[in-house]
A and B are shown apart, each in its own frame.
Chain A
Amino acid sequence: ENKVEKQEISGYEGVWVLAEQRNNKLMDVAFELCSEGRKLADELDTTLSAVVLASNIKEEAKELFAYKADHVYIVEDEELKDYRTETYTSVICDLINEFKPEIVLLGATHNGRDLGPRISARLDTGLTADCTKLAIDKEREILLQTRPAFGGNLMATIICPDHRPQMSTVRPGVMEKAEPDYSRSGEIEEIEVDISDKNIKSHITDSGKIINLKSDLSDIDIYTTIKEIIKEAKGSVNLEEAEIIVSGGRGVGSPENFKLIEELASVLGGEVGASRAVVDEGWIDKAHQVGQTGKTVKPRVYFACGISGAIQHKAGMENSNLIIAINTDEDAPIFEICDYGLVGDLKKTVPMLSKAFKDLE
């Protein structure tokens, strides 16, 4: 029989969040993960640490304490300003090998999904992608990682019982960001330790301190160079942070009719979303797409106008606080997940709504 060797997993402790920055600014997903990580750490009666690789992040990193991190580790180097597979994988694997966290969470951003699998392969541990729910099995003290698969048709709970760390990625916007508590970020004292210091753990005693780790990057084989990073002007679509989203689907009927959707969004001070069907038709830019292959959104109110409610669309918006559906087909699946449904022609009802909201002002 081919016996699989079991990894030694005792000695792994604590919950880690790999807090992603771009241009030395932390991304929202880092705070969302801290908020979630805090709950897991409390369940396990252990500490929550955030780790940031950047070129200049000290001030910005303090914010992580407000989101309930106990420790914040930073590694600063000009080479770490922009994400790169080789440098980030190498530094983070060194840190994990030294500190041995039992759980490591990272954002399922493009960079996180480049980095996560590379780390898990190097450390020979498991990685669960795009989790929508994380919980602790108290009895076995393991992480229960729930995620959609088969295009959202199936949910699976994944465990990683015999390897450490247990690693998960979580998409931006999926976990709730807690209220920041700025009273926690009071005293910050910096200590500097070399990552290769064998007694690294013993330097870190009190919580609430930024630990400035030094890493020698000269040993890392760096193959790739980033020539440039281009931001594409996409108007000001900011679906992830919008409070109100008015989305249109194929039922809008034509690109011209999208004006009706835009008008309602503008009256409400919201953003315009779309189903993939209309993005594929070319009626609106891909930046507006909500769903499995678009954005995951969680606004206070989501209007789905002329959207059937395919599973891939729902995957991106079903956690909205309040969902309002407008559709001519009373059997449209969108009505199964909405809070309020309006059966009817959007071309009539949407302008009526816009007018009614305008009149309120």
Chain B
Amino acid sequence: MNILVCVKQVPDTNEVKIDEEKGTLIRDGVPSIINPEDKIALEEAVRLKEKNGGKVTVISMGPPQAKNALLEAYAMGADECILLSDRAFAGSDTWATSYTLAQGIKEAGEFELIFCGRQAIDGDTAQVGPQIAEKLEIPQITYVKGLKVDGKKVKAKRALEDGYSVVETELPVLLTVIDDLNKPRYPSISRVVSAFQKEDCIKVWTVEDFEVDKTKLGLDASPTQVYDTFVPTNEKKGEILEGNKKEKVKKLLEKLKMEQVI
């Protein structure tokens, strides 16, 4: 079984601090991690390989340091990792990102299953998975929280707001996964060591290494543009109620009466 997983390296947004003066994010010193749901995706792929045999390929688009994420993916059980890295990809929105990844995937081989995380914790759009599926002209199942692969058939539990649906399709298919699906394993130390010895476990491709239409890359080709960014401000400053416990509760009741809540 030939399986591909899309992995994005992201800043740990829990660690992101804000420069209130400048209204920007302070990204220095913020650790880079594999996007959490992409680890779930990778775990599922590796489990399927362990059960059915086959190969797991990981692909990522990003700057050269995204290699670190791919080393970790290798240590978790990926067989081959491809990093699409070129200045030409900079500033891609999801349309351009999914185009670039889809072209890379076509070059990398024929895959029966393609996994993505539902959403990356930095861009937060949840758009890249479905857009890759559209560009590869294959079906998709999003929000997957349970999965059974049986021969050429896939049966997935797709989370809904108030329950789930059971969706069936035939391979090939693209799945986006959520964290109910599994609990990812820790990277194996021996595989980390062998990754450093096996230099070719991570391939880096520039625009020259796979077929791309150069007018469809990066910032210039992206339909959406970031027009402005700002740090959310706290519009209201709370009134802290003073006094002892009883007085505070009494004051709160008065306020709620005043606001016509009670």
**A353-B251 Cα distance, complex, nearest whole Å:** 11
A275 at the A/B interface (Cβ < 8 Å)?
Answer: no
Chain B binder among A63-71, A120-128, A175-183, A184-192:
A120-128
A232, B95: Cβ atoms closer than 8 Å: no
Q: How far is the CA of A227 from the CA of B170 in the complex (A)?
A: 14
Within 8 A of B (CB), among A129-161: 129-130, 144, 147-161
Residues 336-361 of A, flagged 1 when their CB comes within 8 A of B and 0 if not, give 11111111100011001100110010
A101 cross-chain contacts in B, Cβ below 8 A: none
In this assembly, does B193 line the interface, its C-beta being within 8 Å of a C-beta of chain A?
no
Q: Does B32 belong to the interface (CB within 8 Å)?
A: no
Q: Interface residue tally of chain B, by bracket?
A: 35 or more
Q: A3-B215, A128-B224, A224-B167 are in contact. Are A120 and B122 (CB under 8 A)?
A: no
Given contacts A156-B228, A324-B252, contact A352 B223 (CB under 8 A): no
B14 CB, nearest partner CB in chain A, Å: 7
Stretch at the interface among B48-56, B67-75, B79-87, B123-131: B123-131
Give A147 to B133 CA distance when docked, in angstroms: 24
Contacting pair A118 B131 (CB below 8 A): yes
Instruction: Tell whether A121 pairs with B13 under 8 Å between CB atoms, given A154-B229, A337-B234, A341-B241.
Output: no
Q: Is the CB of B13 within 8 A of A153?
A: yes
On chain B, the residues within 8 Å of A360 by CB distance are 253, 262
B185 at the interface (CB under 8 A from A): no
Q: Is A124 a contact of B95 with CB atoms below 8 Å? A: yes
**Alpha-carbon distance between A120 and B98 when the two chains are bound, in angstroms:** 11
Q: Which stretch in A53-61, A109-117, A199-207 binds the other chain?
A: A109-117
Most buried by B among A122, A147, A153, A344: A153
Interface hits, B119-151 → A, CB 8 Å: 121-131, 133-135, 138-143
Whether A343 and B240, one on each chain, are in contact in the complex, defined by CB atoms closer than 8 angstroms, is yes
B25 in the interface, Cβ–Cβ < 8 Å?
Answer: yes
B155 at the interface (CB under 8 A from A): yes
Interface string of B195-229 (1 = CB under 8 A from A): 00000000000000000001111001111111111
Find chain B residues with CB under 8 A from A89 CB.
134
For the complex, give the distance between the alpha carbons of A144 and B230 in Å. Answer: 14
B124 touches A150 (CB 8 A): yes
Given known contacts A149-B123, A150-B124, A225-B169, is B161 in contact with A110 (CB within 8 Å)?
yes
Complex CA distance for A160 and B96, rounded to whole angstroms: 13
Of A116, A151, A152, A343, the most chain B CB neighbours within 10 A belong to A151
Report the separation of the CA atoms of residues A227 and B155 in the bound assembly, to the nearest whole angstrom. 9
Q: Would B162 and A2 count as touching, CB distance under 8 A?
A: no
B22 at the A/B interface (Cβ < 8 Å)?
Answer: no
Q: A120-B223, A126-B223 are in contact. List 9 more A-B contacts (CB 8 A).
A: A118-B133, A121-B130, A148-B124, A151-B13, A151-B124, A223-B173, A227-B166, A340-B255, A344-B245
Could you pull out 29 A-B pairs where Cβ atoms are within 8 angstroms? Answer: A85-B130, A110-B142, A110-B158, A114-B130, A114-B140, A117-B126, A118-B130, A121-B95, A149-B122, A150-B13, A153-B13, A153-B18, A154-B232, A155-B229, A157-B229, A158-B224, A158-B225, A159-B225, A163-B223, A223-B169, A224-B168, A226-B166, A227-B167, A228-B165, A337-B234, A339-B236, A339-B239, A341-B241, A344-B248
B residues adjacent to A (C-beta < 8 A): 11, 13-14, 16, 18, 25, 93-95, 98, 121-131, 133-135, 138-143, 155, 158-170, 173, 214-217, 220-232, 234-241, 245-246, 248-250, 252-253, 255-256, 259, 261-262
- Residue positions of A touching B, CB distance < 8 A: 2-5, 82, 85-86, 89, 109-111, 113-114, 116-118, 120-122, 124-130, 144, 147-163, 223-232, 234, 244, 300-301, 322-325, 330, 335-344, 348-349, 352-353, 356-357, 360
